[in-house]
Amino acid sequence: MQAVTVTAEGGEGGFWATAAPIIPHPLEFFFGLACFAILYVVVKQKVVPRLEQIYAERTAAIEGGMNKAEEAQAQAQAALEQYQAQLVEARSEAARIREDAKAQGAQIIAEMREHAASEAARISETSHKQIEAERQQAVVSLRSDVGRISTDLASRIVGESLHEETRQKGIVERFLAELESGDVVREKVGGAAGSQGGDA
């Protein structure tokens, strides 16, 4: 019995000792197969779903980022177009304001010129009226002085007083009227003086 056992053990150990290294031992083969099956189950149930979830999340994040980038680009393009439209509108508004300012400036200048012309006309009219009033006053004063002087002179020539107010006024007014109209003639004045002398 012991010899058989030794022979069997010696024969068994001799086979695996002389077998090719690529052939696995049955215990090692089954143990490795069991470990591989356990590892496969664990990877399939735990690792692969997690990796797929991470991949899906990463894909969604990338796609979301791309969508957000496209939306941001579209918003930026829309904002740029709006800015350009506002810029064009602002330029046209500025041009319109300039034109309005020019028109208002021209209107103000025209109004100021018209006001200056009317003011100059008013001042000129006032000056003319004042000059005319002063002339009339001077004429009245001269008439009075001429009448008084001529009456005094005539009184001395005639030898009697001609200072009666009504008579003096009539003679002086008639003389000045003839003087202004240019109808004064020496003979008439002499004749008037002679007639006054004869009346005296």
**Digit-coded pLDDT (tens) for 151-177:** 777 667 766 665 565 555 666 677 677
Does the residue 35 lie in any domain?
A: no
Does the residue 50 lie in any domain?
A: no
Does the residue 160 lie in any domain?
A: yes
Q: What is the DSSP letter of 45?
A: I
Q: What's the structural domain count of the chain?
A: 1
Does the residue 189 lie in any domain?
A: yes
Does the residue 183 lie in any domain?
A: yes
Residue 19 — φ and ψ, nearest 5°?
-70, 160
Does the residue 58 lie in any domain?
A: no
Does the residue 167 lie in any domain?
A: yes
pTM: 0.35
The pLDDT value given to residue 187: 47
Q: Long-range contact list for 195-198, CB < 8 A, 24+ apart?
A: 196/154, 196/158, 197/158
23-55: b (≥16 Cβ within 10 Å) or e: eeeeeeeeeeeeeeeeeeeeeeeeeeeeeeeee
Does the residue 142 lie in any domain?
A: yes
pLDDT digits (tens, 9 = 90+) for 73-90: 899 999 999 999 999 999
The pLDDT value given to residue 41: 92
Residue 158: give the domain boundaries.
131-199
- Nearest alpha carbon to residue 168 among 189, 188, 186, 143: 143
